[in-house]
Amino acid sequence: MDPATIGLAGVVVMLVLLALRMPIGIAMLLVGACGFAILHGVQPALFMLGSYPYGYAAVYELAVIPLFVLMGNAASVSGMGRDLYSAAYAWVGHWRGGLSSATIVSCAGFAAVSGSSVASAVTMGRICLPEMKRYNYDDGLATGTVAAGGTLGILIPPSTAFIIYAILTEQSIGRLLLAGFLPGLLLTVLFVITITVWARFRPEIGPPGPVATRQERVRTLVKAGPMISIVIATIGGIYLGVFTPSEAAAVGAFLAILYAFYKRSLTGETMQFVLLETVKTTSFVFLILIGALVFGPFLALSGLPQQFASWLISFDLPPLAVLSILLALYIFLGMFLEGFAMLVLTLPIVIPIVEALGYDLIWFGVLMVIVLEMGLISPPVGINVFVVKGLVPDVPLSKVFAGILPFWLAMFVALVLLIAFPDIALIVPNTMIGK
């Protein structure tokens, strides 16, 4: 059996193991180690298993992951999400569909401290869904808003997906985090436009809320000030070259914990929750990265990525056509595979193609994350949809999926705009100081 066939067999076995609910990190470790042993020998495979995980986990740059996760968990228990929603509600809640628009804005803001789509959906869903229910918002609009808004957690920095992509493709973590900033704002605006147009044609789905006074708007904006300050300190520090991504994460975590102490929300119980959740999430991400570190050399040794790249390029299609095919495949895979699994499984195969086409890997990383967002709300897997369904068990799942369709189309529009105008993603990282 030739190496490429062994590589293809390994990918098939990996998909079978994932279908059997084996954790993605364990599946990659198992298939990668066995495949490497078949192609290169048992002793080299054992050496790789003994040395790679420790050597990789000890890399200083990876400290950015637990620190940003810690920042997000501390922000969650401190009530920053509620403060931000109150501010957004005061400014746009009186619009038709305004509560949904406020939810999108607050999801975007909370994403800037959480870096997690699920955390954003759960936190903001618990705050926003009862308010929209109280004002008789359509269930489809309400649940679709929270599910779609939560996906901003993996696009607006800090984003765990960007960090994983940067590590797997050996790109700058700081440049990738900054590359998601303007696309994140673009998608936020497109979501708000979607809600406004939807509510204009069907006014009954999003009745306007009460009009806040100027004093109430200023007061709520001041309450949201600490969270805005943390975002400016971390992202601004990376952009200005004051901090490395790891240092920015440490500063953000410290400020979030300090604010939580100030709000007296960090009791012994909540501190235990914050630390345990941080350890769980970090362990999950590191297991995936270590698994990818073992699976990647097996695929490289098999020559499968190079053969696939050569085969696809041999059709002599325009680069844009090849890119469109890749993105269409990702959208399709997103209906069945979890986002992180899709990243680590496909990047070793896809990146040689993207490089051969001459595309910027930072820009492609932003496209990848938007496609992952689309997968988060696509049936039948749609993790964010099931998270929201768990918050409102009385709403039929079909209603939730129907509610996300307009937002899915908005994501597609964002994808098209980024392909047409790459500078939307590249202008901020290309102008960062100390890049």
Report how far residue 119's alpha carbon sits from residue 55's, in angstroms, rounded to the nearest whole number. Answer: 30
Task: Tell me phi and psi for residue 336, to 5 degrees.
Answer: -125, -25
Buried-exposed string 29-61: b where 16+ CB fall within 10 A, e elsewhere: bbbbbbbbbbbeeeeebeebbeebbeebeeeee
Q: Domain tally for the chain?
A: 1
Task: Say how many C-beta atoms besides its own lie within 10 A of residue 2's C-beta.
Answer: 10
Q: Measuring CA to CA, how many Å separate 66 from each of 61, 199, 252?
A: 11, 40, 12
Task: Tell me phi and psi for residue 240, to 5 degrees.
Answer: -80, -5
The tokens describing 15, both together, are: 């998909």
Report how far residue 284's alpha carbon sits from residue 398's, in angstroms, rounded to the nearest whole number. Answer: 30
In terms of Cα–Cα distance, which of 433, 73, 63, 429 is closest to 246?
Answer: 63
Domain that holds residue 228: 61-431
* Domain presence at residue 132: yes
Question: What pLDDT shows up at residue 424?
Answer: 95
Report which secondary-structure segment, H or E, holds 104: helix 98-114
| Angle at alpha carbon of residue 432, lines to 185 and 149, rounded to 5° | 20
Q: How far is CA 172 from the centre of its chain?
A: 17
* Domain presence at residue 305: yes
* Domain presence at residue 387: yes
What letter would DSSP give residue 213?
A: P
Amino acid at 183: P
* Domain presence at residue 113: yes
The tens place of each residue's pLDDT in the chain, 435 residues long, gives 788 888 889 888 888 887 788 888 888 889 888 988 998 888 888 888 887 777 777 777 788 888 888 888 888 888 887 888 888 888 887 788 888 998 898 888 888 877 777 777 888 888 888 888 888 888 899 999 998 988 888 888 888 888 889 988 889 888 999 999 999 999 999 999 999 999 888 888 888 877 888 888 899 888 888 888 888 888 888 888 888 888 998 999 999 999 888 888 888 888 898 899 889 888 888 888 888 888 888 888 888 777 877 787 777 889 899 999 889 888 887 777 777 777 887 888 888 889 888 899 999 999 999 998 888 888 776 778 888 888 888 888 888 888 899 999 999 999 999 999 999 999 999 887 655
Report how far residue 174's alpha carbon sits from residue 166's, in angstroms, rounded to the nearest whole number. Answer: 9
The tokens describing 23, both together, are: 């954790």
The number of residues making up the chain comes to 435
Strands (E), 35-131: none
CB-count exposure of residue 119 (10 Å: 0-12, 13-18, 19+): buried
Q: Measuring CA to CA, how many Å separate 83 from each of 8, 117, 228, 293, 353?
A: 50, 19, 11, 40, 45
* Domain presence at residue 29: no
Contact 234, 158 (CB under 8 A): yes
Report how far residue 382's alpha carbon sits from residue 101's, in angstroms, rounded to the nearest whole number. Answer: 22
Question: What pLDDT shows up at residue 186?
Answer: 95
* Domain presence at residue 27: no
* Domain presence at residue 6: no
* Domain presence at residue 92: yes
Asked if omega into 380 is within 30° of 0 (cis), the reply is: yes
Residue 328 contacts by C-beta under 8 Å, 6 or more apart in sequence? none
Q: Measuring CA to CA, how many Å separate 165 from each of 36, 101, 289, 301, 331?
A: 23, 30, 10, 21, 17
> Whose structure tokens read 């490395």?
244
In terms of Cα–Cα distance, which of 186, 206, 193 is closest to 134?
Answer: 206
Over its C-alpha atoms, the chain yields an Rg (Å, rounded) of 22
Q: Measuring CA to CA, how many Å separate 16 from each of 121, 185, 341, 342, 397?
A: 29, 38, 13, 14, 27
Task: Say how many C-beta atoms besides its own lie within 10 A of residue 233's C-beta.
Answer: 17
The alpha carbon dihedral of 180, 185, 191, 194 has a sign of negative
Contact 206, 97 (CB under 8 A): yes
Report how far residue 363's alpha carbon sits from residue 263's, in angstroms, rounded to the nearest whole number. Answer: 39
Write out the DSSP string of 181-222: HHHHHHHHHHHHHHHHHHHHH-GGGS---PPPPHHHHHHHHH
Report how far residue 331's alpha carbon sits from residue 346's, in angstroms, rounded to the nearest whole number. Answer: 13
Question: What pLDDT shows up at residue 420?
Answer: 94
In terms of Cα–Cα distance, which of 81, 89, 87, 90 is closest to 113?
Answer: 81
